[in-house]
Each structure stands twice: as C-alpha cells, then as structure tokens.
Amino acid sequence: MDAVLGKLYDESLLDPLSDEDLARLARSTELQQFKPGEYVYLAGDSPTHFYLVTNGQLEVLEPTERGERRRQYLYPQDFFGDIALREDTPRQFAVRAALPSEVIAIPAAAFFELLDAFPEIEKILDQSTPERRAPPPTFPGQYENEVVIYWARRHPIELLRRLLWPVGVGLVWTVMAVIALFVVARQSVRWETIILTVWAIGLIPLTMWALWEGIDWWNDLYIVTDQRVINLERVVLIFEERREAPILKVQNVNAFRRNPLAAALNYGDLVIETAAQTGAILFRAVPDNDVVAARILQERDKAREAVRRASESQKRRELRKALGLEPTSPPPAKQDGGVQKNARRPRRISEALATQGMRYFIPRTREEQGETIIWRKHWIVLLGQTLRPWLFTIVIFFSAIALGVMLPPLSTVATFLIILFFAIAGMAAVGWLLWEYEDWHNDIYILSPTAVVDEERRPLALSKTVKQASLDQIQDVRYEIPNPLFMLLNVGNVVIQTAGAEGRLDFKFVKNPPGIQSEIFRHIQRMAEERQARESARLNAEILDALRLYQEEVGTPPDRSVPQT
C-alpha cells in the first residue's frame, strides 16, 4: 500500500485529493507492471479499471483489417481507460507496453466514487476527451507505421514578439492620426475626412504585415515521431525547407531557455545533434522543450533496444534451427528456365540508335535502372545554361537573313567570305549550345541500394568530380525550395549530411525534393533490413560451423538433417 500511495502522490490528476483521500484510494488500487509486448487490455474487452501511467511507455493500438495500427503513445502522468468506463461500452482500442511500464489500476467502483467526490477531476476528463478521440496528427510524407509523438509550433509568445513591430507602428500611426484630428480637423470637416482616409490607407500595409507574420508563424512545424525528428519551415509562396534525421542517428539533445520569461512560460530551444560534421536540427522556442528532449532520447533508446532485441531474437531462431528444434524454411522454388512467352523481339540497329538518340536529347530528370534511381537538374536549369547560346544562334540566323536581303549583289569572293563567316559563326553557336547541353546532361545524382552519389563531369572529359557516401553514413537529410518560381515548379535542393569524409552532398535544382528525401530514407531503411538479413545468414553459418566442430570433438556424428551452409 505504501508503494501505491507514493505513486498516487505523484499524479497531477489527483492533486485535489487530501492525504486521507489518497490513503483511502490506495487501499482499493494496485500497481501493475508490464513487460514490452504485454497487453494492459485488448480491443473489445469489457472495461473494469481506470489507469494512470507512472513509468515507461504504452502504445494505443487501433484494430484494422490488416492488424493493429499504432495510434499514439502514453507516458507518465497520462491516463486512459475512462471513456469506456463512463460510457459503459467495450474497449475501442488495445493498450500494450512498448517499454517496461507501470500503471496504477483503479477499479470501476473506486473510479466512480472518485468522480462523485471530486467533480473537478471529471471536468478534466471531459475537457481531454475530444482531444483523445480525435484522429492522431498527420503530416506530408508520413510513413504508414509512423506515430507522431510531438507536434508543435513556436510558443505563442514568439508570435506576439513578431507582432510587436506592426502593432507598435500601427499604434503610433493611430496616435498621430488622433493628434492631427484634434489639431487640424477642428477647422474643417474636409480635413477630418482626409486625415481619416490617410489613416485607413496606412493601416492596410500594417494589417498585411501582421497577417504575414501570423501565417509565417503558423507554417513552421516541429515534429517528433517514433522514427525521426523533423523541422519544417515555410514562407508562403517564397521558401520551404525541411530537415529531418532518423531517430537512431540522434546522438544528443540539448535544451536551452534563453531568458527568465522563457523559463516562466516553460518554453525554449532544442538542439538535436547527429554525427554530421555540420549543422544540427534546431527546434526554436517550443513549449515544454525539456520534456521533448527527454522524449526524443527515450525514443532513440527504444529504437536501439528494438534493434538489439530483433538481433537477439534472430540469433535464437538461427540457433534453434541449427539444433533441429525449429523447422528450416523450404528452399525457394526454382524458376522456369524456359523461353519467356512474351519475350521482346530483338530490335534493329536503327531502332536502337533512334531510341538512344531520343534518350540523350530528351532525357528524363528522373530515371530508374533496376534499384538505382538517377536524377538530373530540372529543365529550368538547362534553359538558363543554354539561354546565351540560343540567343547567339538566333542573332546569327537573323543577321544572315538580313544581310542576304539588304546587301546589294557582291563579288564572288565577298559572298564566299560572308557565307564562310556565318557558317563558322553558326557552327560555333551550335557547338556552344551542345557544350552547355552536355554540361547539364553530365551532372547526375544517383541513389543506389547502398550509396548516394553526386557526379559532375565537364564535356570532353575535361574534369570529373564524384562525391559518394554510404547510406549508413547519412545522418540527416533536408530539402529547401528557395523562391516562388521554384515552389511553383516544385524544384529545390536536397542536402545530405553524412558522418564520413565527404561531409555533405548537395542534389541541386532537382524536381520534387520532398519525394527525393523520402526515397533516400526508404533506401536507408531497406539497407538496414538487408544488412540484418545478411548478418543472420552469416551467424547461421558460424553456428553451424561451431556445432560441427563440437560434434567432431565429442565424437557425435553430425545431424545430416541440419542444413549446411
């Protein structure tokens, strides 16, 4: 009972209770501990208790056609289970421990007695019910199995700070108008109308300024999920930047409060560090920044523990297979080596050359070659690079036409020299145009199953620069869309920070930078899964070799049913 009573004292929901009330409640409640993966209750269960979370982390699971889907997480000071009790309906969601967790279980009878005695607690539950019933927050590019843990904008005090200038200027402008009315407008009604008109016109840009600051504050988001941290900053129709890092790559999180006001209002900055050589992810002026820092580190540790448990579980499975305690997976069926019915007929050389020519002169800005994706800079960059040679070509063309029409008949030598000049100038213009096109065409950005590559080549192999980084070296990826035109065209830069010697790779002026960012993270996840599979196969081989050596040493013939690798 003493342990339960001590936990009840720490619960903020129970602050209205006196010491005697808490002692009475402690006699009818119990502490329950759950290991990761254990259920507190299942969807469809009859409600019997109300729960207060005292330690660990619990996940709320929503039943779907494809199984259970994580809806949200519960942390210390959270509570759950009251809605089904008060509505006398089966549990809508399941609750399961994600980490070693502890809850206070209050039986239904004691719970209703608590609500009758303390209406303020019932009011708190009523106020929080709509938020808990609401769908979980989502954001563009969210993964199917990803849960948002924290979602916030800058503290409202930051909005007020940004509104000081437009509001202050507006107040000064209004005071000046009032003074003018008292000093000048007494002499004539016409002056009063003029002053009020000028005052109203002056307020229009100030109002637009204030609205701009409000929209700009609203568009900046800071998101923490169980898989990554995200900083999204947008200026409407002008700029967009999104930085994110996998939760496993987070090395340290520092929380700062810049002044006494920030400490009093419980907000501050977060600096989220990875192994990248430059640049951390910064959350500015976010509410409860110290709590968010702890949540990020908790999610990182949970992700690392999940990787460790998965590796350990895989080792156990491989060991059981090697000992013959678990059936081995059947070998994959051999594929039919016959001729494909719909095999493509061989193309003629002319068709192949035509296709290659089309691919060269009309290349795609995104190509897939098996599991490798290749991007080029957007067409607008090609247009910018070839603008001068195109203008030069047009000038040469129309100059030749103009001279042919305007000049009188010339001697054969003069005509030949003019034709020779324009022929050389035309070839120079076409050569310049092809040079710029080849320079654009040769700059490619590659995402392979194992690495990212930034390759830049000058025409005629004059120079070549290749920057490459393994996917497992990537610490964070961000994209930026720097101006309104690029926002309209969905063009921007993708910046990849690595822990390797390359430091940073830039995919410049690429189409759909948010999509490229997502592709990179998907490849990172796939590479991690494939590495785990390879490690499993290697471990299986080592276990089998060790067992074979052991059997040879003890003189027991090896079990031939155990697959050898």
In a shared domain, residues 131 and 184: no
Q: What is the pLDDT of residues 117-166, one digit of tens each?
A: 999 999 999 999 998 888 888 888 888 888 999 999 999 999 999 999 99
Judge if 160 and 37 occupy the same domain. no
CB 479 within 8 A of CB 514: yes
Return the closest-CA partner of residue 520 out of 444, 453, 447, 455.
Answer: 447
* DSSP state string for 229-255: EEEEEEETTTEEEEEEEEGGG--EEEE
> Does residue 436 fall inside a structural domain?
yes
In a domain, 54, yes or no: yes
Same domain for 110 and 185: no
Question: Tokens representing 381?
Answer: 């960059």
Say yes or no: 510 and 376 in one domain: yes
Which pLDDT does position 194 carry in this prediction? Answer: 84
Q: Tell whether 174 and 131 lie within a shared domain.
A: no
Does residue 46 surpass a pLDDT of 80? yes
Q: Which domain holds residue 131?
A: 2-136
Token representation of residue 546:
């060790």
Q: Give the mean pLDDT of 292-316.
A: 84
CA–CA separation, 104 vs 10, rounded Å?
Answer: 11
Is 394 in the same domain as 464?
A: yes
Same domain, 168 and 91: no
How many alpha carbons lie under 13 Å from residue 388 in its C-beta half-sphere?
6
Instruction: Look at the chain and report how many structural domains it folds into.
Output: 3
Residue 418 has pLDDT above 90, yes or no: no
Same domain, 503 and 457: yes
At 91, which CATH number?
2.60.120.10
Q: How many CB atoms lie within 10 A of CB 225?
A: 20
In 35-78, which ranges are E strands? 39-41, 49-55, 58-64, 67-74
Q: Three-class SS of residue 51?
A: strand
Tell me which of 200, 219, 238 is where a domain ends: 219
Please tell me whether residue 111 adopts helix, strand or coil conformation: helix
Same domain, 511 and 401: yes
> Across residues 552-564, what is the average pLDDT?
56
Report yes or no on 384 lying in a domain: yes
| Strands of the 94-97 sheet, one edge to the other | 39-41, 94-97, 58-64, 67-74
With bands split at pLDDT 50, 70 and 90, how would you rate the model's confidence at 322? Answer: low
- Cα separations (Å) of 461 from 361, 435, 442? 19, 12, 10
Examine residue 343 and state whether it is found in any structural domain, yes or no.
no
Q: What is the DSSP string of 114-161?
A: HHHH-HHHHHHHHHHHHHHHSPPP--TT--TT--EEEEE-S-HHHHHH
Question: Is the predicted pLDDT of residue 238 greater than 80, yes or no?
Answer: no
Q: Positive or negative CA dihedral for 63, 66, 72, 74?
A: positive
Which residue, of 167, 194, 219, is where some domain finishes? 219
Residue with tokens 């052991």: 550
- From residue 171, alpha-carbon distances to 179, 217, 451 in Å are 12, 22, 57
- Taking the CA atoms of residue 142, residue 144, residue 146 and residue 149 in that order, the dihedral angle to the nearest 10 degrees is 70
Round to whole Å and give the CA distance between 418 and 234: 56
* pTM passes above 0.75: no
- Tell me which residue of 25, 26, 19 sits closest to 1, measured CA to CA: 26
58 & 188 share domain: no
pLDDT at 286: 93
From its phi and psi, is residue 141 left (phi > 0), alpha (psi between -120 and 50) or beta? left
416 shares a domain with 465: yes
Residues 33 and 107 in one domain: yes
What pLDDT does 501 receive?
A: 61
Instruction: Tell me the mean pLDDT in the region 394-404.
Output: 84
Partner residues linked to 295 by β-bridges: none
Cβ(22)–Cβ(9) under 8 Å? yes
